[in-house]
């Protein structure tokens, strides 16, 4: 991430009254402004189908920052930020009224809108005659399947070239996800064991305690495989499994990620478990069933949980299962990568009563407790030979004396600089959809699980003969 301000340009947020803008974009832009990492010159222009003026937009931004920013509101810093904020109410796809508010020759347009609105807005940018000086940021999911992803890519390229398209997956902006690259390729001790000869399996988990959070109608059209597996999980998988790039240039890294996704063998439906939460208790809070959420069909078969077992057919990974799972209303919020190393070839300690020893594990914690831990066996103090799992633990906050910046701050700043390293290229999108296309067309039946559990019982079959490793001792 460059510490220099990006080139002068305007920032247009389409959907500025929505949840994404409130929770993520406006706080991120405020923090970039506070740290002098926005363009020196350029407006932040919000638009949405609401009857607001500039002052109402500024009040909305102030509330968003006060509620969701990682830093508190500094009155002077916010006043400086607010000078950039302007609002243009738009109720249709005609964006030409925005042009009278442009202050710079170039601009970046963030489509913070539902996927169904992408196509008409992309077309509107072309019709308005501003495409030559415009870059576009779009949020996942990028299409609903392989065919729609190809169509969306074609629509984008009919208006702007690929180098001015930024497909954003906020997981790639998380410091611990980026740290996978440094950890793997900056430490020879781990690079030498990052292979099928030393690793028995790789687990990637994205567990959430929240439900659909009022987005039932939208989630009915998406489901866990489209929402998390095809993007978040596959992006983390690609960074975990990729070969060393020839350089740290964006395209060199993205080339290696694409190779991983293309190497995923067609997924056997028998290696997929889909689930949907029923009523239960998460923590101390009662949770209704997914089918009772607003906007959800009473006989819905949309999955809120998915577990998959897949193979990456490459020289490094052949024979190593990759186990992926994600779910809503699970027991704890926990996103992590677990590298399980192969067992020792001979258990020397069985004769002295040590019957079970866990395999060594390397755990990359993505959220909420960002860090990396290595587990290994050690002898407990005392006259008997008794082994116990112990951990060497790196914690991001305590080691660097601060919390990492929000993912959207990094990603917005990179997009303003034109840096594509943490954004998804068109062939990455299509390779990811290709891997899940078969199970989307013929999905396994949905199994039910109680809110507050670890998902359907059958998910244990995906991890067999081992078991899932999560943030609790029970696993």
Reading the block at residue 380, the tokens are: 């407990």
- Catalytic: 232? yes
334 token code pair: 């926990």
What pairs with residue 339 in β-bridges?
202, 362
Q: Are strands 107-111 and 10-14 parallel, antiparallel or unpaired?
A: parallel
Residue keyed to tokens 């193979």: 311
- Taken as a whole, the chain contains a residue count of 475
268 is written with which tokens? 């056997």
Q: How far apart are CA 389 and CA 256, in angstroms?
A: 35
Cβ atoms within 10 Å of 389's Cβ, excluding its own: 14
Q: Give the DSSP letter of residue 21.
A: I
Q: Please tell me the distance from the alpha carbon of residue 147 to that of residue 267, in angstroms, as a whole number.
A: 18
Query: Helix or strand or coil: residue 449?
Result: strand
- For 148, the 3-state DSSP assignment is helix
d(CA 148, CA 161): 19
CB-CB contact of 435 with 268 (8 Å): no
Take residue 91 and report the two structure tokens written for it: 């109720």
Sheet of 272-278: strand order equals 387-395, 371-379, 361-367, 334-341, 199-207, 321-327, 305-311, 272-278, 446-450
Three-state helix/strand/coil letters over 297-343: CCCCCCCCEEEEEEEECCCCCCCCEEEEEEECCECCCEEEEEEEECC
| Helix 234-241 with 426-441: angle, nearest 10 deg | 120
d(CA 392, CA 372): 8
Cα torsion angle, 187, 189, 195, 199, sign: negative
* Residue 147 CA to its chain's centroid (Å): 22
Residue owning tokens 């998380």:
174
Given a contact cutoff of 8 angstroms between Cβ atoms, the answer to whether 406 and 70 are in contact is: yes
* DSSP-assigned beta bridge partners for residue 14: 47, 111
60, 62, 170, 232: which one is catalytic? Answer: 232
Helix pair 118-127, 146-157: axis angle to 10 deg: 10
Catalytic residues: 232
């Amino acid at each position: 991430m460059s510490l220099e301000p990006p080139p002068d340009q305007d920032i247009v947020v389409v959907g500025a009254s929505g949840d994404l803008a409130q929770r993520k974009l406006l706080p991120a832009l405020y923090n970039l402004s506070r740290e002098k990492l926005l363009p020196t010159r350029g407006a932040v222009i919000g638009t949405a189908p609401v009857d607001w003026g500039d002052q109402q937009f500024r009040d909305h931004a102030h509330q968003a920052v006060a509620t969701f920013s990682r830093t508190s509101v500094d009155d002077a810093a916010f006043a400086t930020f607010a000078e950039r904020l302007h609002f243009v109410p738009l109720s249709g796809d005609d964006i030409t009224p925005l042009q009278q508010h442009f202050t710079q020759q170039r601009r970046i347009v963030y489509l913070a809108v539902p996927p169904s609105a992408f196509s008409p807005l992309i077309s509107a940018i072309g019709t308005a005659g501003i495409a030559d000086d415009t870059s576009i940021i779009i949020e996942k999911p990028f299409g609903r399947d392989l065919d729609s992803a190809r169509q969306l890519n074609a629509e984008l390229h009919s208006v702007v070239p690929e180098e001015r398209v930024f497909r954003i997956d906020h997981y790639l902006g998380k410091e611990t996800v980026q740290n996978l690259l440094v950890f793997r390729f900056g430490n020879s001790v781990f690079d030498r064991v990052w292979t099928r000869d030393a690793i028995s399996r790789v687990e990637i988990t994205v567990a959430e305690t929240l439900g659909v959070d009022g987005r039932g109608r939208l989630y009915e059209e998406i489901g866990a495989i489209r929402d998390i597996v095809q993007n978040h999980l596959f992006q983390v998988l690609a960074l975990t499994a990729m070969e060393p790039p020839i350089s740290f240039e964006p395209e060199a890294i993205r080339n290696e990620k694409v190779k991983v996704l293309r190497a995923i063998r067609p997924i056997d439906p028998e290696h997929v478990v889909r689930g949907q939460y029923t009523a239960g208790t998460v923590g101390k809070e009662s949770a209704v069933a997914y089918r009772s959420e607003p906007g959800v069909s009473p006989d819905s078969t949309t999955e809120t949980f998915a577990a998959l077992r897949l193979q990456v057919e490459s020289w490094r990974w052949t024979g190593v299962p990759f186990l992926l799972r994600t779910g809503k209303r699970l027991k704890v919020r926990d996103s992590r990568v677990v590298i399980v190393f192969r067992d020792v070839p001979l258990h020397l300690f069985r004769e002295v009563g040590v019957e079970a020893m866990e395999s060594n594990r390397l755990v990359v914690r993505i959220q909420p407790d960002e860090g990396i831990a290595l587990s290994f066996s050690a002898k407990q103090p005392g006259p008997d030979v008794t082994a116990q799992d112990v951990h060497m633990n790196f914690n991001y906050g305590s080691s660097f004396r601060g919390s990492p910046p929000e993912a959207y701050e990094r990603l917005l700043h990179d997009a303003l600089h034109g840096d594509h390293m943490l954004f998804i290229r068109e062939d990455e999108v299509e390779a990811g959809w290709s891997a899940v296309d078969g199970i989307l067309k013929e999905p396994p039946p949905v199994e039910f699980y109680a809110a507050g559990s670890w998902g359907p019982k059958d998910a244990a079959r995906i991890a067999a003969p081992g078991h899932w490793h999560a943030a609790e001792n029970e696993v």
